[in-house]
Amino acid sequence: MKFTILIAGLIGVFLVPAFSGYNINIGDNGNSIGSGQQSVSVNNEHNIANVDNNNGWDSWSTLWDYNTNFAAVRVFSKKLCIVHRMNKAVMPSLQALDALAKENKKERPGGPPPKGLMYSVNSEEVNDLDKFGKPIANMCRGIPTYTAEETEGASLFSFSAKCLSTSILWVIDVSFCGGTVEI
């Protein structure tokens, strides 16, 4: 009986990571932009993807919650969070991110250019984080959090406010531009 429990426990220890997610790391080897190191975690059990971009003072972390269709980016240098609706037509599916993580590619030569999204950050601080789901509420709790609305047809060149650009793998570029909120 004890042997069966031990075997079941060992199997569980090794299978849970296989079913829950994958990590990939993308280094800044010769990258002229200096984007730092990016780590992607896909949790299939909870339908969540997390991307951490470690670049010193310019580090950020984003969480995509496919259950609530909300995403959030935490900007460490500004000590703030920005929450927005996920644009399913442009943002990759959890399965697509999962496939990229399994491929474990270090670079994407010759692929199509990344898709782009632009958001305008609202100036009013969010009071109730729970409406965005537990994962985002936990990520943004304790720091000023703002919502952002997608700006269709805009470009960084036509936007007068300062913008924060996040590039996630080779798949999508997301820009957050603030009016009264300094990004």
Domain ranges for the chain: 37-178
Residue 158 is which amino acid? S
Second CATH level (architecture) for the domain 37-178:
2-Layer Sandwich (3.30)
Residues paired with 24 in a beta bridge: 40
Q: For the whole model, what pTM was predicted?
A: 0.75
- Tokens in use for 133? 């789901």
- Report H helices in the chain: 2-20, 94-103, 134-140
Q: CA separation (Å) from 6 to 11, 17, 19, 26, 94?
A: 9, 18, 20, 37, 33
3-state class percentages of the chain: helix first, strand second, coil last, to nearest 5:
25, 35, 40
Q: Is 69 left (phi over 0), alpha (psi -120 to 50) or beta?
A: left
Q: Is the pLDDT of residue 23 over 80?
A: no
Nearest one of 95, 100, 94, 108 to 23, comparing CA atoms: 100
Q: Is the pLDDT of residue 180 over 70?
A: no
Please give the pLDDT value at position 13. 34
Q: Is the pLDDT of residue 151 over 60?
A: yes
Distance (Å, whole) CA 126 – CA 119: 16
Q: What are the strands, taking DSSP E only, across 27-91?
A: 37-43, 48-54, 60-65, 70-75, 80-85
Alpha-carbon Rg for the chain in angstroms: 18
Please give the pLDDT value at position 153. 62
Q: Is the pLDDT of residue 6 over 50?
A: no
Q: Is the pLDDT of residue 179 over 50?
A: yes
Please give the pLDDT value at position 122. 93
User: What phi, psi does 93 have (nearest 5°)?
Assistant: -70, 165
- Tokens in use for 151? 């700006």
